[in-house]
Amino acid sequence: MPIYHINGQAIHTVEEGSPNRQKAILVHGWSSSSFALSPLAALLSQRFHCISIDLPGYGNSPPFEGETTIPRYAALLADFIEQECGGTVVYVGHSMGGMIGLTLALMHPVLIERMVLICPTITGRLSRQVNLMISPITMLEWVGLGRALVSLVENLYVGITDRLMRPVSFADRTGISQADYLRLRRDARHRGQGRVRAECFFAMRENDLSGKIGKIETPTLVLWGAEDNTVPLRDAGVVADEWEAADLRIIPKAGHWPHFENPVPTRRLVASFLGLPLLSHALHTPVDDQELARIEQAAQFLAHSSIGSGMNLAQRTRLAGQLRQVVVPPYTNLVDPKIDRQEMFIVLDGTVEVWSDPESPGEMVRQPHKVAVLKPGEMTGELTMLDQGARTADLISGAQGAVALALDRERLLALREDDPELGSLLLWNIACAMSGRVRFILWQLQRAYQRARAEEKERRSERPSEGPRNVTL
């Protein structure tokens, strides 16, 4: 648990992932700590060196000397990134941490490559429930006598703030575990944070970002719990109205903590947006440096393939993370006869020969003939992936073997759901590639028909002409 000293300010952190990778900075919200984004840290550490920060005054980090403000937090993080990160970072912020990230992106856009914001505070005005029930307790904690009174009330009434905060923070059908809930509540009751909590409550109000966020060009995914009663959905409306470039998603059965309450769709969206290698149940499988290098290489390769047409680097990286690499020796079928994964293949290296049966079109291959040779960048097998039908051709590697990138049906459907823009673009590129192939085949058939007609005409012209018949009267 490293501690950094930035301009005399101590910052406590929790870190995961290889230290030689790009940094991902995880920043918690109001009345919280570095634990607040722990469900995403293991996921992001597949590809990044994750640094979860205790903001000054929270967790194990001492408070600022002097007043706490959102711009001051953002300036501190800018110095931290400059001194410790060695380049642009991926920023993940929750609640007030989201507001800090937005402020940082406005102040120093060059520092952040991409952002993921979870229930970010935009206007700084929290919900009516927070203002009526929680803020009076926060105000009491600002002064010494108030802190003692709040502590006494907590002891006498067995956590009265827990009863107040649960319906404010979590959905009716929340999936948060009891252990995680208790840990989050311990962070919210952390002793000695009364002053900073009160200062941050007003600091968020003073840092209203409405009318400003539309200027942010940093690619950003914004996630919101459908039942968030802490930072209300009216702030999501501000994002929708003013920041069209942001990718705004609403998570069902979640309140202010969707990454704890409904983690599967939350993690899938984050994995898709950040180009993480895996989806669904395998999200937390670690990725070594070799695999990460393969993904980056595949992303670069896709720029020169029809499948990657029109995609930016981030989109190609996201797609590359979903592709399985298949290496086969010479004259070997790409498709395992024991396990047909309903995959399409993009040739990465070598060649792939397509062997089909012209006597049985659309059926299983019986008497195969070589009908095409696919070169790097070309695809095959997409029909089986799309319609789950039988394969009507064998895909055999050439004399030098082949390396291919495979995309299965499950991952295509998950990608389409998690990232509609990328999924739609991928399906469009597949359709365009199929269209080009069909046109080429029709051209070949037309040419064959023309040759056949020419040969028939030539044969007719070469037949000996019959002379006039002798007629006997």
Q: Would 236 be classed as within a structural domain?
A: yes
Q: Would 62 be classed as within a structural domain?
A: yes
Q: Give the separation between CA 40 and CA 283, rounded to whole angstroms.
A: 10
| DSSP summary character for residue 215 | G
What angle (nearest 5°) sits at the alpha carbon of residue 348, between those of residues 344 and 354?
A: 55
Q: Give the separation between CA 460 and CA 467, rounded to whole angstroms.
A: 16
Neighbours of 18 (CB within 10 A): 16
Question: Which is nearest to 28 in space by CA: 3, 4, 2, 51?
Answer: 51
Q: Give the separation between CA 7 and CA 81, rounded to whole angstroms.
A: 13
Q: Would 444 be classed as within a structural domain?
A: no
Block residue for tokens 């086969």 = 328
Domain identity same for 107 and 46? yes
Block residue for tokens 């051209």 = 443
Domain identity same for 156 and 27? yes
Measured between alpha carbons, how far is residue 407 from residues 105, 386, 411, 462 in Å? 35, 11, 7, 54
Q: What domain count does the chain have?
A: 2
Q: Would 148 be classed as within a structural domain?
A: yes
Q: pLDDT tens string for the chain (473 positions)?
A: 799 999 999 999 999 988 888 999 999 999 899 999 999 998 898 889 999 999 999 999 999 999 999 999 999 999 999 999 989 999 999 999 999 999 999 999 999 999 999 999 999 988 776 766 555 555 555 555 455 555 555 444 335 555 666 777 888 899 999 999 989 988 877 777 778 888 898 899 999 999 999 999 999 999 999 999 899 899 999 999 999 999 999 999 999 999 999 998 898 889 878 877 654 444 445 677 788 888 889 999 999 888 999 998 878 888 898 898 999 999 998 887 777 778 899 999 999 998 876 555 555 556 677 878 888 988 888 888 888 777 778 889 998 999 999 998 888 888 887 778 888 999 999 999 888 878 877 887 888 889 889 888 888 887 766 555 555 54
Q: Would 177 be classed as within a structural domain?
A: yes
Last residue of one domain, picked from the residues 233, 253, 282: 282
Last residue of one domain, picked from the residues 282, 307, 324: 282
Neighbours of 292 (CB within 10 A): 17
Q: Give the separation between CA 130 and CA 138, rounded to whole angstroms.
A: 10
On whether the CB atoms of residues 229 and 129 are closer than 8 A, the answer is: yes
Domain identity same for 220 and 348? no
In terms of Cβ atoms closer than 10 Å to its own Cβ (0-12, 13-18, 19+), residue 325 is middle
Where helices occur in 116-275 by DSSP H, the ranges are 128-129, 135-141, 144-156, 160-169, 178-188, 194-206, 234-242, 258-261, 263-273
Q: Would 449 be classed as within a structural domain?
A: no
What angle (nearest 5°) sits at the alpha carbon of residue 203, between those of residues 200 and 206?
A: 160
* CATH number of the domain encompassing residue 313: 2.60.120.10
Measured between alpha carbons, how far is residue 454 from residues 339, 443, 445 in Å? 47, 16, 14
Using DSSP's 3-state secondary structure scheme, residue 323 falls into coil
Tokens of 157: 């009434």
Domain identity same for 118 and 191? yes
Torsion (CA) 362, 367, 373, 376 in degrees, nearest 10: 70
Q: Would 206 be classed as within a structural domain?
A: yes
On whether the CB atoms of residues 352 and 377 are closer than 8 A, the answer is: no
Domain that holds residue 184: 3-282
Domain identity same for 269 and 293? no
Domain identity same for 330 and 350? yes
* CATH number of the domain encompassing residue 131: 3.40.50.1820
Say what the pTM is: 0.76
On whether the CB atoms of residues 274 and 201 are closer than 8 A, the answer is: no
